[in-house]
């Protein structure tokens, strides 16, 4: 089964009424979106959510790109989700006008945002996801450099703060 192969083994999604609500919202919001290889985009947040261990981080992982990549707004999220979830999703939202590394530095203040971002970086740097496409060498270099720098910022923050 395709879904089984795409999801990490030995992990179980945290299913609660709230995570199911987040899953449905993310599914609808990302409908019609595809990743670089033509795979429905929803598999990316689901992959991250599979790695989370509680309701809150599972919701954040499922929703982490909805403000950045869909028409959904903070007000839409506030209707159904706690301030903690909404604020963390907001921290994980990279505005096009913001320098990427400054954005990563800002999200470091939140343990929940760091956890989801680390999973996001790991999935975004998994080059097996690109099997259906051949990015230009300069694009690959850009991605590798960008995500390596982001990972370094987060790891340095954690070392500095003993977390």
**Domains observed in the chain:** 2-160 (1.10.3210.10)
Q: Residue range 140-151: average pLDDT?
A: 95
Q: For all residues of the chain together, what is the average pLDDT?
A: 92
- pLDDT band at residue 11 using 50, 70 and 90 as cut-offs: low
Region 32-39 average pLDDT: 92
- Does 4 score more than 60 pLDDT? no
The pLDDT assigned to 3 comes to 46
37 vs 12, residue with greater confidence: 37
pLDDT at 108: 98
Q: Decide: 113 and 84 in contact? Cβ < 8 Å.
A: no
Span between the terminal Cα atoms of the chain, in Å: 38
Report CA torsion sign: 110, 149, 134, 9: negative
Of 39-48, 96-105, 115-124, 137-146, the least confident: 137-146
For the segment 71-75, the average pLDDT, to the nearest whole number, is 98
What is the pTM for the complete model shown? 0.90
The rounded distance, in Å, linking the Cα atoms of 140 and 142 is: 5
pLDDT band per the 50, 70, 90 thresholds, residue 158: very high
**Range 14-20 average pLDDT:** 96
């Amino acid at each position: 089964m395709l879904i089984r192969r795409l999801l990490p083994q030995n992990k179980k999604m945290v299913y609660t009424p709230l995570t199911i609500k987040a899953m449905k919202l993310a599914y609808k919001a990302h409908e019609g979106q595809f990743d670089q290889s033509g795979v429905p985009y929803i598999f990316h947040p689901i992959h991250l959510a599979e790695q989370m261990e509680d309701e809150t981080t599972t919701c954040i992982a499922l929703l982490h790109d909805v403000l950045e990549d869909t028409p959904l707004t903070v007000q839409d999220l506030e209707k159904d989700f706690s301030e903690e979830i909404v604020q963390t999703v907001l921290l994980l939202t990279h505005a096009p006008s913001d320098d990427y590394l400054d954005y990563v530095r800002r999200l470091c203040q939140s343990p929940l945002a760091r956890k989801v971002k680390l999973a996001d970086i790991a999935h975004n740097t998994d080059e097996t996801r690109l099997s259906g496409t051949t990015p230009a060498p300069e694009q690959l270099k850009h991605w590798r450099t960008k995500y390596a720098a982001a990972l370094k910022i987060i790891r340095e923050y954690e070392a500095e703060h003993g977390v």
